[in-house]
Structure 1
Amino acid sequence: MSPAVLGFAMVIVFMVLVMTRRMTAVPALVFVPLVFSILSGHGLETGSMMMEGVSQVSTTAVMLIFAILYFGIMIDAGLFQPLVNRIIAWVGNDPARATVGHATLASAVGLDGDGTTTALVGVSSMLPVYKRLGIDVMIFAVIGSMSFIIMNMSPWGGPAARVAASLHVDPSVLFVPMLPVAVTGLGFVFLLAWWFGRRERARIGPIDSTTLVVGDETLDAKRIAEIFQADPAALRPRLIWFNLALTLVLMVMVVGRFAPIPIVFMGGLAAALVFNYPKLADQRARLTAHSGNALSVGIMVLAAGAFTGVMAGTGMIDGMAKSIIYILPPAVGPYLAVITALLSIPMNFFLSSDAFYFGVVPVLAETAGHYGISPEEIGRASLLGQPVHSLSPLVAAVYLKCALLGIELGDLQRFAWKYALLLCFILIAAALVFGVIPLAA
């Protein structure tokens, strides 16, 4: 059997196992290539191929582990407490301020790359404001999702981490050119939030503040800890400015590439632990609190390395790419970056992230390489359809969001699809304008 046929069969089996929930991503990423490597006649070489793939993604795994731990500790220490207080105090009784404030909060909290945390923080702090003012909760869902999606393009975000692992590319090389695209997308989200707020202000009409039950303008430390599901004893309000400065320095170093990203977050985590929690017991407690999330992501990336290592070592991915080139019209090949960006819209809706980024994107990248399009450019293009992913019925977080807001998934999809689709096209247009992906190779 040819490597191309085995490769397509392996990808299909992997996608079916993941999407039918017969296996989670990690065992599927290890077990499936192991079986297909043996079927291809490379049984004795399987271990070395897997290790080659793992070594290529090891820096990405290290970066993710330390970045997730760092942002988790920043949340525990209360870095976002002043922001929550200021937004709630600033909103008052103005729907336009409420929607813009919500976008601000979701964007800031979304830095940690955890969609569940972002949703819970928004629901705990901003949803009461929406309900108090009578703002449509569908708007809450759209603004929260879109803000997080843009921030989740960071190197430690789930989609970018999967792309870096599947294509064996440097996360900073993938992410830094995307900054102007992300800023453009975030600008659209804030503009949309302002437009929503103005529309709701006109719909609701004058708000009589005397009829509203307005809570305290600020939240105490215990309430902030509840919002972020953190330990109140872990808050360090006196170190807010230090933690903010440390985080800003880290972001500058990541963007400026002054050091490898894993080393940046290693140093940041060490500084955060030492200065915020000098006692050894406290340091252990903070690391333990976030180790589950950090390790699960790191293990997934290492398993993805084993998967792509077998695809490359057995010649499957090269065979798959050549077969696609054979059936692809020659005139279409140079436009594969734009085609990938457009394909990412339905792919991100109908496929799970693991199935798309580990199964489909590597084949697209290998095919595009024959036309002079780099893996980084294909990786960036594959991220541009992410806004519709927040509406996919395959995403567990969307059900959590609907449950928290008391809405049906179908109603949310009908309301939000046009805004998500518009954001996708804006991101694609910005990527072309800024040269992040080529119009034609």
Structure 2
Amino acid sequence: MLTILGFAMIATFLVLIMMKKMSPIAALVLIPALFCVAVGQGAKLGDYVIDGVGNLAPTAAMLMFAIVYFGVMIDVGLFDPIVRGILRFCKADPMRIVVGTALLAAIVSLDGDGSTTFMITVSALYPLYKRLKMSLVVMTGVAATANGVMNTLPWGGPTARAATALKLDAGDIFVPMIPALGVGLLAVILLAVVLGRRERKRLGILTLDEAIVQEPETVLVGAGAGAGGGSDRTRKNSGGAGTGTDAEHTAAVAHDGDADDEGFKGLDPNRATLRPKLYWFNAGLTVALLTAMIMELMPIPVLFLLGAALALTVNFPHMPDQRARIAAHADNVLNVSGMVFAAAVFTGVLSGTGMVKHMADWLVGAIPDGMGPHMAIVTGILSIPLTYFMSNDGFYFGVLPVLAEAGAAHGVSPLEIARASLIGQPLHMSSPLVPAVYVLVGMAKVEFGDHTRFTVKWAALTSLVVLCAGLLFGII
């Protein structure tokens, strides 16, 4: 019964948010509360929620101060040269911009933290997508999938969890997987090319002068000509693609703001918050912060707390200016931290009621005995949905040891099982149980349901590509 209710709770949540019948925060809180009562454990709901909040509180604290830190870095102009450089390189070509999104997300993912990756990627590229009226779900989908592939780095989390759960060396798991993961990254870049071409067909290619020099309102008209408006010149630039707009792209673009949206201010060379004399200080501080994260010198929440305080103090020494900067980013902070604490209710009920354990046991028990010699492949396939429907902790510490034991009974090496368990990470990064994804959709101003509908199929396909590459190279 707990197995059925567990799957039903997850399915109910996904259906309601994808159909936009409930907001993600409301769904994350109310649906697990209802199912907790349904399994007869309503009296323990408070305990489950407190446990969940306790587990995710450090993550919420990290996100709060990270948003403030990177928000200040945007304000002072740290990422402006990156945006201008990408724009000049891409020449306002949507295809090149989407490919640039994949590359930037992959490079920044080397720090091993998804939230940081999304904050930097969206901070740098959101003004560009807005200025050219590109689909924001393309940005979030490509960034999340690229980060998912790179999330398998030994310091990223999943590999370390797999090594701990099976008592293996993280290097022995990760290093042989590099060729397969490289193929996965190439698949993401190819996906970016395909999606970028769709965007190019829908919008056309603006000239560099049109993208940078013209007023935002003019660029909006030119980029939005695909919807049927604009002058003869802008319709010519749009390539006549006005009738071919994809519904999934339109949903993300339509809700997303007017000509005075704050995203257009990202490239304003005259905004009052710029601190050009402190550019190298801010760049050095950011590099030092990311280096400290990779070296694990301190807990990440502490690093971002110190970084945010230092960035505010140096760049805005006057108290009114500091309060203004904090207030400017309060909306993002509240949005994301609220999502994290709401997700704590969901994960707390899933774990506390025993639903996760029963779901895992049922899935493992459903594997036919004849599949025993192929447990590595089975593990890889199962990791795709399981790491989406449950946290990495739940999968790697709850399910993986059982799969490894079943594989060992048929002579399958625990190393192969551990490598196969990484296959689902491209999809995992878009799971509603991953706090970082709320940073991504929140900063990009994309509905979580829109992101889910757009990304799941591409991320699952990327995971299968990595699995096939692992089989081809003999890694799995």
The match for 2:318 among 272, 279, 283 is 279
C-alpha distance in structure 1 between counterparts of 2:16 and 2:456, whole Å? 28
Give the counterpart letter for 1:283 in structure 2. Answer: Q
Decide whether aligned partners of structure 1 residues 249 and 5 sit closer, same or farther in structure 2, where only a CA change above 3 A counts. same
Decide whether aligned partners of structure 1 residues 193 and 299 sit closer, same or farther in structure 2, where only a CA change above 3 A counts. closer
Aligned to 2:4: 5
Decide whether aligned partners of structure 1 residues 243 and 429 sit closer, same or farther in structure 2, where only a CA change above 3 A counts. farther
After TM superposition, give the deviation of residue 342 of structure 1 in Å: 4.9
Give the counterpart letter for 2:277 in structure 1. Answer: R
C-alpha distance in structure 2 between counterparts of 1:365 and 1:56, whole Å? 15
- Contact 1:107–1:151 (Cα < 8 Å) also in 2: yes
SS of the equivalent of 1:48 reads helix
Q: Does 1:383 align with 2:425?
A: yes
The match for 1:370 among 402, 407, 422 is 402
SS of the equivalent of 1:228 reads helix
C-alpha distance in structure 2 between counterparts of 1:195 and 1:317, whole Å? 37
After TM superposition, give the deviation of residue 290 of structure 1 in Å: 1.4
Give the counterpart letter for 1:321 in structure 2. Answer: A
- Contact 1:340–1:378 (Cα < 8 Å) also in 2: no
Decide whether aligned partners of structure 1 residues 215 and 93 sit closer, same or farther in structure 2, where only a CA change above 3 A counts. same
Decide whether aligned partners of structure 1 residues 87 and 305 sit closer, same or farther in structure 2, where only a CA change above 3 A counts. closer
Aligned to 2:47: 48
Instruction: Extract unaligned runs of 5+ from structure 1.
Output: 129-136, 162-168, 198-211, 348-355, 390-394, 403-408
Q: Deviations over 1:117-148 (max 9, x none)?
A: 565422366x59xxxxxxxx99x997896356
Aligned to 1:339: 381
After TM superposition, give the deviation of residue 284 of structure 1 in Å: 1.3
Decide whether aligned partners of structure 1 residues 320 and 343 sit closer, same or farther in structure 2, where only a CA change above 3 A counts. closer
Compute the TM-score of the two structures, normalised by the length of structure 1.
0.62
SS of the equivalent of 1:371 reads helix
C-alpha distance in structure 1 between counterparts of 2:472 and 2:278, whole Å? 41
Give the superposed CA RMSD: 5.5
- Contact 1:361–1:379 (Cα < 8 Å) also in 2: no
C-alpha distance in structure 2 between counterparts of 1:273 and 1:24, whole Å? 33
Aligned to 1:297: 336
Q: Does 1:66 align with 2:65?
A: yes
Give the counterpart letter for 2:334 in structure 1. Answer: L
SS of the equivalent of 2:272 reads helix
Seq. identity, %: 31
C-alpha distance in structure 2 between counterparts of 1:75 and 1:381, whole Å? 34
Decide whether aligned partners of structure 1 residues 357 and 283 sit closer, same or farther in structure 2, where only a CA change above 3 A counts. farther
- Contact 2:68–2:333 (Cα < 8 Å) also in 1: yes
Q: Does 1:322 align with 2:361?
A: yes
Give the counterpart letter for 1:27 in structure 2. Answer: A
The match for 2:142 among 141, 146, 151 is 146
- Contact 2:101–2:142 (Cα < 8 Å) also in 1: no
After TM superposition, give the deviation of residue 323 of structure 1 in Å: 2.2
Decide whether aligned partners of structure 1 residues 417 and 118 sit closer, same or farther in structure 2, where only a CA change above 3 A counts. farther
Decide whether aligned partners of structure 1 residues 306 and 104 sit closer, same or farther in structure 2, where only a CA change above 3 A counts. closer
Q: Deviations over 1:134-183 (max 9, x none)?
A: xxx99x9978963564257788xxxx99xxxxxxx9xxxx9xx7997888
After TM superposition, give the deviation of residue 196 of structure 1 in Å: 12
1:218-229 correspondence to structure 2 within 5 Å: 226-228=264-266
The match for 2:273 among 234, 243, 247 is 234
SS of the equivalent of 1:234 reads coil
Aligned to 2:129: 123
Q: Deviations over 1:4-34 (max 9, x none)?
A: 2332333333233323322122122221222
- Contact 1:64–1:298 (Cα < 8 Å) also in 2: yes
Aligned to 2:38: 39
C-alpha distance in structure 1 between counterparts of 2:423 and 2:8, whole Å? 25
Aligned to 2:297: 258
- Contact 2:56–2:344 (Cα < 8 Å) also in 1: yes
C-alpha distance in structure 2 between counterparts of 1:21 and 1:71, whole Å? 30
After TM superposition, give the deviation of residue 74 of structure 1 in Å: 0.9
C-alpha distance in structure 2 between counterparts of 1:265 and 1:432, whole Å? 40
The match for 1:245 among 284, 287, 311 is 284
Q: Deviations over 1:226-265 (max 9, x none)?
A: 4527791111111111111111111111222121111111
1:208-223 correspondence to structure 2 within 5 Å: 215=209
- Contact 1:143–1:189 (Cα < 8 Å) also in 2: no
1:182-201 correspondence to structure 2 within 5 Å: none
SS of the equivalent of 2:40 reads coil
Which stretch of the first structure deviates more once superposed, 98-107 or 64-73? 98-107
C-alpha distance in structure 1 between counterparts of 2:101 and 2:9, whole Å? 43
- Contact 2:36–2:42 (Cα < 8 Å) also in 1: yes
C-alpha distance in structure 1 between counterparts of 2:48 and 2:92, whole Å? 60
C-alpha distance in structure 2 between counterparts of 1:191 and 1:311, whole Å? 37
Instruction: Extract unaligned runs of 5+ from structure 2.
Output: 109-115, 158-164, 197-205, 220-261, 406-413, 432-437
Compute the TM-score of the two structures, normalised by the length of structure 2.
0.58
After TM superposition, give the deviation of residue 51 of structure 1 in Å: 0.6
- Contact 1:54–1:302 (Cα < 8 Å) also in 2: yes
After TM superposition, give the deviation of residue 91 of structure 1 in Å: 6.5
Give the counterpart letter for 2:278 in structure 1. Answer: L
- Contact 1:68–1:294 (Cα < 8 Å) also in 2: yes
Aligned to 2:257: none
After TM superposition, give the deviation of residue 219 of structure 1 in Å: 7.3
Number of equivalent positions: 372
Q: Deviations over 1:338-387 (max 9, x none)?
A: 1145558xx9xxxxxxxx44599957974434224999989854332479
1:67-146 correspondence to structure 2 within 5 Å: 67-88=66-87, 111-113=117-119, 120-123=126-129, 127=132, 146=142
C-alpha distance in structure 2 between counterparts of 1:8 and 1:148, whole Å? 24
